[in-house]
């Protein structure tokens, strides 16, 4: 069994690092300067960072300049999400030097455009699959789309290399990841699956690591790190299968 890759999250709203509960606007806890947060996770040993522009995701602004400046200061690999719905936004995001961008809402509202992006940019494109029950959530999670399985099938056929899967009900709730959903997604695609939402304890990472052979290769961690449920070095040790 190989290691589970961890993605500490830095979600940016109004220029500040925040964490939302179930993706709801107004539920945020503010954690200060996002560059400070990003450098903290880099210094603690992270190889990847999950960076999100929440204002762009909700269609109420952009932190593009701040995000570009943050990425320029980092030496780790960055996965960038939030508001990538057209060519201009996609090109701006790719130009920051991030390793991968995650397309969410656009994959639901404009699948043909999303498929073209996958063909053109290969594994630099990931797809964010945000799930409420059996349905997809869209545009800042305030609307519902189609069946998630149909989206996985179609975008896998287009060559998508990475799906970031969020159970909206568990996001920010520290209630544990939705292991059943992740298993279901992993069995439908040969792409790597990154788990997002609900991770609260080191035992959650141990459970996710058991899914690595199925294709669940990574996990995004947000609230649990910020509130101190565990440290990133301890999480990285568990993700590599070290005892403790």
Question: What is each CA distance from 111 to 82, 180, 191, 244, in whole angstroms?
Answer: 17, 26, 17, 44
Is 43 designated active site?
Answer: no
Q: Which two tokens stand for residue 40?
A: 């903290």
> What is the torsion angle, in degrees rounded to the nearest 10, for the CA atoms of residue 20, residue 21, residue 26 and residue 30?
-40
Read off the DSSP letter of residue 31.
Answer: -
Catalytic residue among 11, 53, 171, 204: 11
Q: Which of 53, 55, 130, 204 is catalytic?
A: 130
Q: Which residue has the tokens 């996609």?
A: 90
Query: Among this protein's residues, is 130 annotated catalytic?
Result: yes
Q: Say which residues have a Cβ less than 8 Å from residue 222's Cβ, sequence separation at least 6.
A: 8, 9, 11, 19, 50, 172, 199
Residue numbers annotated as active site:
11, 130
């Amino acid at each position: 069994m190989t290691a589970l890759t961890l993605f500490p999250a830095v979600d940016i709203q109004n220029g500040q690092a925040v964490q939302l509960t179930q993706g709801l606007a107004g539920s945020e806890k503010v954690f200060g300067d996002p560059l400070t947060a990003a450098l903290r996770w880099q210094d603690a040993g992270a190889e990847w960072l999950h960076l999100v522009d929440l204002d762009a995701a909700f269609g109420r602004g952009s932190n593009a300049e701040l995000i570009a400046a943050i990425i320029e200061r980092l030496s780790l690999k960055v996965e960038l999400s939030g508001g990538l719905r057209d060519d201009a936004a996609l090109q701006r995001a790719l130009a920051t030097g991030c390793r991968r961008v995650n397309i969410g809402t656009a994959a639901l509202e404009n699948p043909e455009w999303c498929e073209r992006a996958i063909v053109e940019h290969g594994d630099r494109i990931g797809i964010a699959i945000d799930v409420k029950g059996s349905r997809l959530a869209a545009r800042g999670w305030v609307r519902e789309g189609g069946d998630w399985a149909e989206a996985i099938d179609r975008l896998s056929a287009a060559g998508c290399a990475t799906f970031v899967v969020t159970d909206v009900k568990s996001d920010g709730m520290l209630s544990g990841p939705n292991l059943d959903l992740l298993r279901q997604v992993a069995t439908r695609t040969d792409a790597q699956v990154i788990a997002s939402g609900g991770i609260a304890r080191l035992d959650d990472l141990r459970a996710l690591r058991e899914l690595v052979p199925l294709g669940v290769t990574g996990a995004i961690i947000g609230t649990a790190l910020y509130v101190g449920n565990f440290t990133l070095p301890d999480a990285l040790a568990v993700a590599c299968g070290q005892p403790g």
